[in-house]
Amino acid sequence: MPQPLEPSLAALPNPFLRYFAATRPAFLSVTFVGVLLGLASAAAAGAQLDPTTATLTMFFALVAHAGANVINDYYDSLSGCDAANDGRVFPFTGGSRFIQNGVISQRAIGLYGYGLLAAVIPAGLWLTLVSAPGLILVGLMGLLVGWAYSAPPLKLQSRGLGEFGITAGWLLVVVGADFVQRHGFAFAPIAAGLGFALLVANVLYINQFPDIAADAVTGKRTVVVRLGARGARAGYALIALLCYGWVVAMVATAQLPAFALVSLLGAIPSFAALRVLWRHAETPAELVPAIKLTILAAVVHGLLLAGALSL
């Protein structure tokens, strides 16, 4: 199957579409599902969902994710990581290629990424006014994680801590969406969201396999670089098992309804992806089905769990 073409100025003559595409919109689906899961968690607790605040929460969560994607491109360009990535599997790994292909300058990408993150702040303050002050903490932690994943001095991914950052970031998406409607903190969105956040972390984890050579050369010491492609395969299985084990534990302790077990159907694509990864961890081009299945697992799990909570 032919791979999608990388971006070029000729293919994106419209500046608006060019900058929109630079956010990698196809990958924002996990944030869309995360917000739905948070809204479902609040609704299951009896909160009356407000359409205005729910819509704003969704929109600005997507903007924050878009900003984090762009910031990641910027810092991976500064480090030379994306330029050195000859084993990339576009569009999943190796960055958006907007800088490397001369579509948008490195400086413009940096300003754009920080501008997107800054745009979230006024909306977050307004949502805080109509919900509760604790939302400021959720928002600040979310922005910190989105920035620190790639940016110095923290550079979580380069220190082998990227999976912890991604898990925390997408758990905060669920907790924040729940908080806006509930007007307070609760354990329920953690019970619902941690397994989902782990599956999102697995998306980033499997994406590190095609990038292992470029990451190693440029000093990006991800978990996969540290363990090697063959040794790192077990990490994917561990993250998936933690997710589905968490759901079972939450149902067993009555933190989630029994019907939430339907979300375990996400294990089907997860372990289908693991099978591909186990065979082809050192062959980037062969990992495309596994990457797609990993994204599918997160989306299926989150949607089914949101549906279970809504019922």
Render pLDDT for 55-94 as a digit per residue (tens, 0 to 9): 999 999 999 999 999 999 999 999 999 999 988 899 999 9
Phi, psi of 262 (to 5 degrees): -60, -25
What's the start-to-end Cα distance of the chain, in Å? 40
Question: Binning pLDDT at 50, 70 and 90, where does residue 1 land?
Answer: very low
Contacts of 250 (CB under 8 A, 6+ apart): 191, 192, 195, 256, 260
Distance of CA 57 to the CA centre of its chain: 16
Q: Is the dihedral of CA 24, 29, 35, 38 positive or negative?
A: negative
Q: Is 5 helix (H, G, I), strand (E, B) or coil?
A: coil
Helix 188-207 vs helix 267-280: angle between axes, to the nearest 10 degrees?
20
Tokens of 305: 């769990």
Mean pLDDT calculated for residue range 2-17: 88
Question: How much is the pLDDT for 4?
Answer: 76
Mean pLDDT calculated for residue range 254-276: 98
Render pLDDT for 153-191 as a digit per residue (tens, 0 to 9): 999 999 999 999 999 999 999 999 999 999 999 999 999
Hunting for tokens 């595409």 — which residue is that? 21
Question: How much is the pLDDT for 186?
Answer: 97
Question: How much is the pLDDT for 2?
Answer: 54
Separation of alpha carbons 233 and 49, rounded Å: 41
Render pLDDT for 125-142 as a digit per residue (tens, 0 to 9): 999 999 999 999 999 999
pTM to 2 decimals?
0.95
Name the region of 87 (left: φ>0; alpha: ψ -120 to 50; beta: rest): alpha
Q: What is the mean pLDDT of the chain?
A: 96
**Does the pLDDT value for residue 246 go beyond 60?**
yes
Question: How much is the pLDDT for 311?
Answer: 87
Hunting for tokens 């984890």 — which residue is that? 205
Mean pLDDT calculated for residue range 141-160: 94
Give per-residue burial for 225-249: e unless 16+ CB within 10 Å, then b.
Answer: beeebeebbebbeebbebbbebbee
Name the region of 228 (left: φ>0; alpha: ψ -120 to 50; beta: rest): left
Q: How far is CA 30 from CA 10, 115, 201, 212, 294, in A?
A: 30, 22, 11, 24, 11
